[in-house]
């Protein structure tokens, strides 16, 4: 059991974020996934044992690799539950979009930061 689960100064929070890939290639997806998880960690001052799980959803035009397989290479993430799924297709949605939903332990007084990078800033201008 993580020390954070019993710490009364922490609360379980859901963090959202998104980015877009330049292309449907493993290299392009790797670059944007690494940038997205780095921003998520840095903006929220996260340590690996604060991260419970991250679900990655991708638009149907991204099928070159699994984003979770890229994220799994982050140092200390061997106990983070990672999952990939395909985002539902909606006419007019951003193309080559990768979204995340992360469940993490944050200090009670800390305001969650949700990274919306690149073209995805238009999805949530209030959080970009």
Each residue's pLDDT tens digit, 26-83: 999 999 999 999 999 999 999 999 999 999 999 999 999 999 999 999 999 999 999 9
Question: Does residue 74 fall inside a structural domain?
Answer: yes
Question: Does residue 57 fall inside a structural domain?
Answer: yes
DSSP 53-100: EEEEEE-TT--SS-HHHHHTTSTTGGGSEEEEEEPPP-TTPPSSEEEE
Residue 59 has what pLDDT?
A: 97
Question: Does residue 41 fall inside a structural domain?
Answer: yes
Question: Does residue 5 fall inside a structural domain?
Answer: no
The pTM score is: 0.90
Q: What is the CATH number of the domain that holds 109?
A: 3.30.1330.40
Residue 118 has what pLDDT?
A: 87
Question: Does residue 52 fall inside a structural domain?
Answer: yes
Q: Lowest mean pLDDT: which of 8-12, 68-72, 83-87? A: 8-12
Number of domains making up the chain: 1
Question: Does residue 127 fall inside a structural domain?
Answer: no
Q: What is the span of the domain harbouring residue 15? A: 10-122
Each residue's pLDDT tens digit, 98-111: 999 999 999 999 99
Question: Does residue 4 fall inside a structural domain?
Answer: no
């Amino acid at each position: 059991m993580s020390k954070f689960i019993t710490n009364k100064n922490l609360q379980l929070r859901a963090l959202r974020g998104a980015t877009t890939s330049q292309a449907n290639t493993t290299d392009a997806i790797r670059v944007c996934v690494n940038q997205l998880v780095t921003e998520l960690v840095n903006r929220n001052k996260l340590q690996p044992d604060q991260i419970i799980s991250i679900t990655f959803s991708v638009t149907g035009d991204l099928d070159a690799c699994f984003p979770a397989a890229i994220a799994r290479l982050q140092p200390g993430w061997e106990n983070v539950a990672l999952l990939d799924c395909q985002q539902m297709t909606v006419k007019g949605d951003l193309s080559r979009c990768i979204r995340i939903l992360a469940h993490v332990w944050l200090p009670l007084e800390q305001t969650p930061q949700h990274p919306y990078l690149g073209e995805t800033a238009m999805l949530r201008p209030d959080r970009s």
